Chain A
Amino acid sequence: MKKFFAMMLALAMLLTCVSAFADDDVVTLKIAHIGPTTGGAALYGQATRDGAAIAADEINALGGKYRVELINEDDEHNVEKAVNAYNAALDAGAQIILGTTTSKPCEAVGALAVNDRVFMLSPSASSEAAVEPDNVFQVCFTDPNQGAASAEYIAEHKLGTKVAIIYNNADVYSTGIRDTFVEKAAELGLEIVTQPITFTDETTDFTVLVAEAQNAGAEIVFLPIYYTPASQILTVAAAKEFKPIFFGVDGMDGILEIEGFDKSLAEGVMLLTPFVATAQDEKTVSFVTKYQEAYGIKPIQFAADAYDGIYIIVAAAEKAGITAEMVRKAEEEKDPSEICEALIAAMTEIEVEGLTGTMTWDESGKVTKTPMAATIVNGEYVFE
């Protein structure tokens, strides 16, 4: 049997000499996407899954040296299930992880992957703790970065100085952004005019919270929260004729897609986001068209993050010079550590121009890209 393989290998090498891109030269990266495709955060997991699938199809259709084989595992946005999903993905032969989509599962999986030496690139897990292991990198900003970047944006563009913050204190994402926003705001001379205005996942009535911000005379209401409570806050504010500038972060992405929500209420809302589906550049248009054809809906930022994620992994693999031999060895020995180390080293050296901006990384795993804010005008996200 070994002899047979040796013969085949020799034959393959011969063929390589003849044609530049013979089959043996193709390196198929086995990438597992892990994200919540069911459960409460399913919108995000499905978006990252579908975005990654489009990127993988493009790369495979292009027929270059690197091909992508995607494995999908669902984590239900649950720590225990995420660990199970990770183990199942490795059982299925995954060698690189694109995930996980949400922060807490990413922390739990990262703690295992760092010991197993499996490379991880999370499209959208934004907590600081998620990137702590040396093998985990991010496509999106960390929460603290989003908070600080929002404060900077507000100060730089002189949107106002009196700020009220309404946030979910039972949510890591929300509290994380709020904390750094407050810190940065103090530095930049923005004034927080109220006591902390907080709610939890169970809150359904936002009247009191909005009234508090209104009575304090806030010019800007910072909403480091997801779009569902944000839509309720906007509705209440409209009823009270309270018209400050509402400033959100990436969790606000999706507010225009809520069924039964009056889009005119979101008019003038600003949000920090690296991607809007209505942008007119060639890359975005091509991605949005393909996405809409395949899934019938407009992609959200998470889809763009995952799309970039696949390209980033391929770019890193190229830089690291991952060979078919390395992939085969990892498969036989069930140990992708060689690939992992090579990718970690390559990540700090590459620069990727993606849908969500031009990105570089340092050893911490955090991404560097320019923050951008979109404004909602006529029911569409528009970049300034």
Chain B
Amino acid sequence: MKLYNISLNNIKRRKAKIVFLLFGLLIGISTIVALLSVSESMGRDIEEKLNKFGANIVLMPKSDTLSLTYGGMTVGGVNLEIKEFNESDIPKIKEIKNSKNLGSVAPKILGITKLNNKDVLLMGVDFEKEVSLKSWWMIQGKIPEKANEIMVGNDVANVFKLSQGDTVKLGKIDYRITAVLGESGSSEDDIIIGDLKSFQKALNKEGKISMVEIAAFCRGCPISDMVLQIAEKFPDGKVTALKQSVMSKMQSVDTFKTFTFGIAVLVVIIGSLLVFVTMMGSVNERTREIGIFRAIGFRKAHVMQIILLEALVVGVLGGIIGYITGCLIAKVFIPLVMEGSSFAGLNYETSIIAIVLSVSLSIIASLYPAFKASNLDPSEALRAL
């Protein structure tokens, strides 16, 4: 017979009381788990939507000259001395410390060629990565799949009277137009977009990259750190963060986090009170029993151990059941409040948080009742006999 046998037998054989105590914990823990899961899903949802607005980090070669363009208008000529990166260096971006926060990395080659004796700007891209970054593109036609397929900007199509299915000669290669981009009001209206490898060849820039657009997920990672990390990898490059986009992402997620935290604190307080009241009631009901323990030789510390051990076991049970219930609530609730979203699945970290929180709640709420019980004067307790 050990002290823990007394605690475990009390839990095992007084199920109704323990179920009531568990119920208090269950409400608190399941609400917190459900809120965390909803917040996680909402955060993810917000982030995914915001990420559709495009890249938030741009890597370009360093230049000694200033850009003389404003609002798409070039004043005072174009700087034709364009520096480039080697394509083989681009994977270094994925080697930065915060690489897990990297989304799409879209390298591109830029260059000028002649079409019907007029200068046009070519942009070679990896279409899969580019399309994932430019969700606002209105592609009229089919995204190019082959090396000799291209799509043209709206103004290019108008100036050269081009449409889907036409063939054009760029340099020495014939290309078939599979799509025309709808008018966007941006510089993409004036360019011809094709396969990266094919345009590198057409521009005689094989193995070269003009710039890289990067989408970074920034929950819990400062974007400025990532900019520095990329800059370290590319000493000849200029890394720019599009702070506005990042700030709006962070703000939306942070606002929701604050809201969730506020609700969670409230629930924890209510849950603690419920557990405290139930524990106090349980201790008061056990006055007689505690009196017997003390009378037959149990020290104060022994009584405290019995009550706190019960709280520990109930806390662990409450954490596990509360976590499972919270996940089930989130699974049902998330698709109802966020169209197109779904429960992210069981999360190891959240389960640990749930159990630790439940145990802490149970033990903290039981400390005073346990202290009160252990300090019961045996003669007072035995008067209840």
Question: Are A and B physically bound partners?
Answer: no
